[in-house]
Structure 1
Amino acid sequence: MNTYIVRGKKIHVEIFGDRSLPAVLFLHGGPGESCYEFVYHQSNRFSDQFQLVAIDQRGVCRSEGLSETEPFGLQDLVEDCEDLRKQLGINRWAVIGHSFGGYLALLYASVYPNAITNVVFECPTFDFAWTAKSLLRRAASVFLELGIETKSEECLNLATSNLSSEHLFDSYLRLGEELGEHKEDIYRVNADTSIDYSAYTDEEWEAFDDRTDIHLERLREEGRIFQSIVSLLPSLSVPSLLVIGDADPVTCDKHVEAYNQMANGHKVVMNNCGHTPHAECPDVYYRIVSAFLLQGEWRFVEMGNGAYTYFNKDVSK
């Protein structure tokens, strides 16, 4: 684990694997989550064949917190990626973006295409309104299962409204919190995704959460995250792979339809999986992603046991 000064700010960076191996940058979701979970489940797998670089984004978790007065916005997260690449002496690298990290990965690839070899979008969002409506529909189902019909109806009404991305996002955050411990039911199919958080004390995790809240609030205030970037997909010049769980509520059907129009895009749907394939089905996830990254272009690879489904051109067993 290391701290790098990236454009004047301390950024938490973890590097695994030999530096002679192909480099891969992991971008976590949120906004305001952490690379902790991905590293926990995938670092040992990736380090055999890749140089994995995972970061807590600017102002998040173990990275230096944001002050109330310093300039900060979405573009800072893009520029941090490029600055770090140069500091590490990496010519080009692949990027894996999970959830909001997929949004960020698409932005990064559109601004700095020559820095990137290929992109893996893991359960991404490219449009916060689409995602918020899908999450609200899933939340409605969870509320209904709990017998809270009024909240279920509220979610469904919001999901069919023409409210702004920001309003829908904020409404989902509020209603999701009202689910308490059942909020995870929205995202996960496989409950056995245990993770050891004992590397830090409860007090440290509370401090990390406070930084996350500030990070998210600053991005909300700027408002750029509420702009759809679906229109950037056709301009993506490098090979890409969309990996989603069949029960993922974040990458809704509209996202998939938009992605399917890409000439250089490939898709894998993992069965019996929710929003975190890297944690819910870690072995199969790694086999799929590593096969794509190492070959540079997608070819069908038999992974066994029927734990996934391919949707790709010219695929045959």
Structure 2
Amino acid sequence: MKQGKMVKIRGKDMYVELYGEEHEEAILYLHGGPGESCYDFSFHQAERLSTRFKVVAIDQRGVCRSEEIKENELFALQDLIEDCEELRKHLNVEKWSLIGHSFGGFLSVLYSSLYPGSIHKVILECPTFDFSLSSKSLLQKTARLSEAIGNFEIAEKCLKLANTAEQVSSKELLDKYLEYSDTLGEERMAIYRHNQNHPTDYALYSEEEWEAFYDKSEIHFDMLRAEGEIYQSLLPLLENIKVPMLLITAEYDPVTCGEQIRTFTESAENGEVVHFSDCGHSPHYENPDRFCNEVLQFLHSELFSQTSGNN
């Protein structure tokens, strides 16, 4: 069934899904993209996690089922953070934990650094902390897939750009990745997916509805790229975040590259790393049972210690 409802947040209708009991500790899920949706996360994880937590999942401002961003409307990266904080207050949540997937991990780091008092714990699922580093890694995987289908010209262009010692802007790297990966056609999602044993059923909405949703999301993504704040590396912020953080990495994920993992390991004061084998960019649906178990174990460790300390 269609679980969500529209909630007016800072003057815009935001699509919000709520699962679990009101009295339970809250989790906010932040999807990736920019411009994806909470749909596949809710499909695979909402019922699993809501047995222990109050789960809040949103389509971010201007994305998919949320209200579109109008022409000439002001919109910036900071709006996404302020929307989260205002939603927390609207739902009367004192503190919540975050699960940030991909670009949602980027948002989670930024949110945690700006509003540390609002956050219990942070789970970063195959995140990007730095669009330049992620784009280079994505270009390398695009090269391998292009070579496999015989498109050697694109493969060479990808590798040349990914491995260049010259200074190339984050904007150019991302733009070229988007351009070159599009040449893969139907094979493009192989960049991200590896284990397809747990597919998402998208039939809740028609093909026409999904097309309309993602037309809105494209405006969201284009405006973030035009503003340019997403091109700022968040790696320096990791050492300043004191709440416990769990970094989830995966064997075939090209987004969280080795340099980002090393920086997290060295910089995150309360950071842990869990690795998923035989998994691509989305462990929450490629290995949903283990993902749920890892999340529950990480979040309940603090809750248990708090309960014990009160006895």
Aligned partners of 1:178, 1:191: CA distance in 2, in Å?
Answer: 22
| Aligned with 2:148 (options 145, 148, 151) | 145
Alignment partner of 1:204 out of 201, 205, 209: 209
Match of 2:273 in 1: 267
Please list, as runs of the form range in 1=range in 2, the aligned pairs for 1:32-181 lying within 5 A after superposition: 32-161=35-164, 162-181=167-186
Q: Aligned partner of 1:291: which letter?
A: Q
Over residues 253-312 of structure 1, what are the superposed CA-to-partner deviations in whole Å (9 max), with x where a residue is unaligned? 01101000122100000111110000100000100111001112999xxxxxxxxxxxxx
| Structure 1 residue aligned with 2:248 | 243
- Report if aligned partners of 1:239, 1:296 keep a CA contact under 8 Å in 2: no
Paired with 1:5 and 1:298, the residues of 2 have a C-alpha distance of 35
Q: Which runs of 5+ in 1 are unaligned?
A: 300-317
Q: Give the whole-Å Cα distance in 1 for the aligned partners of 2:282 and 2:249.
A: 8
Query: Is structure 2 residue 261 aligned with structure 1 residue 256?
Result: yes
Match of 1:218 among 219, 223, 228: 223
SS of aligned partner of 1:157: helix
Q: Say whether the 8 Å CA contact 2:102–2:128 is kept in structure 1.
A: yes
Tell me which residue corresponds to 2:308: none
Matched AA of 1:281: N
TM-score, length-scaled by structure 2: 0.94
User: C-alpha displacement at 1:191, in angstroms?
Assistant: 2.2
Provide structure 2 residue ranges, at least 5 long, that are not aligned to the other structure.
306-311
User: Structure 1: how far apart are the matches of 2:244 and 2:199?
Assistant: 33
Q: How many residue pairs align between the two structures?
A: 299
State how far apart, in whole Å, the 2-side matches of 1:182 and 1:87 are.
42
SS of the aligned residue for 1:296 comes to helix
- 1:291 aligned onto 2:297: yes
Question: Per-residue displacement from partner, 1:157-215 (whole Å, max 9, x unpaired)?
Answer: 11013310000001011111110111111112112232111111221111101101100
Match of 2:195 among 185, 190, 198: 190
Q: What is the root-mean-square deviation in Å for CA atoms of aligned residues?
A: 1.3
Q: 1:25: which partner in 2?
A: 28
What CA deviation, in whole Å up to 9, does each residue of 1:53-96 have, x standing for no partner? 00000000000000111110000000000000000000000001
Letter in 2 for 1:267: V
Contact 1:73 1:219 in 2 (8 A): yes
Summarize deviations over 1:11-32 as a string: whole Å, max 9, x none. Answer: 0000000011110000000000
**Paired residues of 2:143 and 2:159 also in contact (CA < 8 A):** yes
Distance 1:209 1:100 in 2: 16
Q: Which moved more, 1:288-297 or 1:55-64?
A: 288-297
- Structure 1-normalised TM-score? 0.93
- The 1:297/1:186 distance shift into structure 2, 3 A limit, reads farther
Contact 2:61 2:80 in 1 (8 A): yes
Contact 2:242 2:269 in 1 (8 A): no
**Aligned residue in 2 for 1:307:** none
Letter in 2 for 1:53: V
State how far apart, in whole Å, the 2-side matches of 1:160 and 1:166 are.
16
1:302 corresponds in structure 2 to none
1:129–1:226 CA contact under 8 A, matched in 2: yes
Residues 31-60 of structure 1, C-alpha deviations (whole Å, 9 max, x = no match): 000000100010110110000000000000
Check 1:171–1:85 CA distance in 2 against 1; reply closer, same or farther (3 A cut).
Answer: same
Structure 1 or 2: more helix by fraction: 2
Structure 2 letter corresponding to 1:270: F
Cα distance in 2, alignment partners of residues 32 and 114 from structure 1 = 27
Contact 2:241 2:269 in 1 (8 A): no
